[in-house]
Amino acid sequence: MTNINKLNETHDLTLKSWVTSANQANSDFPIQNLPFAIFRRAGSNEAFRGGVAIGDQVVDLACVAENKLFSGDAALAAQACTQPTLNQFMGMGSDYASALRLALSRALREGADKSLESCLLAQSDIEFELPATIGDYTDFYTSIHHATSVGKLFRPDNPLLPNYKWVPIGYHGRSSSIGVSGQTFHRPVGQTKAPDAAVPSLGPCKRLDYELELGIYIGQGNEMGDAIALDDSDDHVFGFCLFNDWSARDLQAWEYQPLGPFLAKNFASTVSPWIVTLEAMAPYRTPWTRDVADPQPLPYLESETNRHQGAFDIKLEVLIQTEKMRNEKQQAKSVSLSNFSYSYWTVAQLVAHHTVNGCNLKPGDFFGSGTQSGPEPEQAGSMLELSCGGKEAIDLGNGESRTFLNDGDTVVLKGWCQKEGAARIGFGEVSSTVLPAKI
């Protein structure tokens, strides 16, 4: 297997592209990134196919394959990306993904022969589809700051359940309602029960919330019955995206015991279109630690490698744009900024735990990280936390405020990695809008 943990020539900070927009200081998509998506020309009847972002352009991988611009493993990988989903490509494994990444990097560098120029399309001219068919979706609960804050609201006397520090907690979600950025959905309807009511009632959710999460796509799967060892997890993770796991907090409060989330979570979830590969993330791996006062992981969740480079330094931001803001041509308002490095569990631990019982993962399977809240109040990844359970309004700076989301509100999540000595790489954004309930 290719060692996608290590820096190689594709990460070289000095690399520039002949696609000049990729060289701009704040570009999400420099030549060191090269994330994958599924796209077609906007408004066309073309087949959806794989593409790679470079600056404000996209490389059409079907064009690359048709014109036989690459050879060897890179050519086989490009051919797999002609499909309407990336599942086949993801399942080929990290060697093929790495070969295609290297071929793209070399072909897009300054000084290259520009053989890819005929395969470029402007991102402003395309539309996206889900990058993979998501067969199964598991949502985790990896932020101890979020778990503690929410626990205090729901269980003041017992905010953090005793298994939290031993087990990467998760539940199996609904993959059919996951949509790509631009998704709109109707405010969910369900049962709620007011504290002073004798019986529950049915009606539109009144406490609609977003959740700031990182999405994790599985690449190569495992056979049923075979666990994935912690230090082998990188061979099975294709890459990351941004993920908004919408939540109906009033429905959740009534239904979540004893079996956990159900209608409060299954009505909509939204992913960003671009998948940043695990290899692209190599410069932003960081050490992972566990407080010495906490239980240390069981052996199957513990390794020197995981301690050394299990965490990722990914900045995550939430913005809200109300209908009034859109009508008045105002920009979305930033309401929180967090970082995935605060996660209590690592991606490798999620993979190892998910499969320790013999569960089989398949290419395109999807993990949600759980809401990524940091230790400070302004780093909260949900309105439930920012508004202290709806008790304190969030000022949007234009005369409007929110405790939870209104119809017409658009939520935008952004993510990027940036530090001295490495190229800034971004995730683009995921945007989605709340429509009125259908009643």
Binding residues: 139, 141, 155, 211, 213, 245, 252, 256, 265, 269, 371
- Whether this model's pTM surpasses 0.85: yes
The tokens for 306 are 């995981």
Q: What is the pLDDT of residue 2?
A: 63
Q: Do 137-435 and 9-129 fall under one CATH topology?
A: no
The domain limits of the chain are 9-129, 137-435
Residue 429 pairs with which residues in a beta bridge?
A: 414
Task: Tell me, yes or no, if 146 is annotated catalytic.
Answer: yes
The whole-angstrom separation of Cα 267 and Cα 96 is 35
Q: Residue 282 contacts by C-beta under 8 Å, 6 or more apart in sequence?
A: 4, 5, 6, 7, 8, 11
Class of domain 137-435: alpha beta
pLDDT tens digits, 75-97: 999 999 999 999 999 999 999 99
Binding residues for Mg(2+): 245, 265, 269
User: What's the gap between Cα 104 and its chain centre?
Assistant: 23
User: Residue 75, exposed/middle/buried by CB under 10 A (0-12, 13-18, 19+)?
Assistant: middle
The 3-class SS string of 123-160 reads HHHEEEECCCCCCCEEEECCCHHHHHHHHHHHCCCCCC
Q: What is the pLDDT of residue 305?
A: 97
Other beta carbons within 10 angstroms of residue 348's beta carbon come to 25
Superfamily of domain covering 9-129: Fumarylacetoacetase, N-terminal domain (2.30.30.230)
Catalytically annotated residue among 145, 146, 353, 354: 146
pLDDT tens digits, 276-324: 999 999 999 999 999 999 999 999 999 999 999 999 999 999 999 999 9
